Amino acid sequence: MPIKIPRDLPAYSQLESENIFVMDEKKALSQEIRPLQILILNLMPLKELTELDILRSLANTPIQIDVMFLQMETHVSKHTSASHLEKFYVTFSEIKDRKFDGMIITGAPLEKIDFEDVTYWDELTKVMSWSQEHVTSNLYICWAAQAGMYYHYGVRKKFLKEKLSGVYLHHVIHRKDPLVRGFDDYFYAPHSRYSEASREDILSNNTFKILADSKEAGIYIATAENGKNVFVMGHPEYDRYTLDNEYKRDIHKGLSPNIPVHYYPENDPENRPRMQWRSHANALYTNWLNYYVYQVTPYIL
Separation CA 210–CA 70 (nearest Å):
28
pLDDT, tens digit, for every residue of 173-214?
Answer: 999 899 999 999 999 999 999 999 999 999 999 999 999 999
pLDDT, tens digit, for every residue of 92-144?
Answer: 999 999 999 999 999 999 999 999 999 999 999 999 999 999 999 999 999 99
Max distance between CA atoms of the chain, in angstroms, equals 54
Higher-pLDDT residue of 284, 60: 284
The bridge status of strand 36-41 relative to strand 100-105 is: parallel
Q: Which residues are catalytic?
A: 142, 235, 237
Q: What is the pTM of this model?
A: 0.88
Closest C-alpha among 106, 258, 277, 149 to residue 194: 258
Closest C-alpha among 54, 34, 175, 154 to residue 101: 34
Separation CA 133–CA 136 (nearest Å):
8
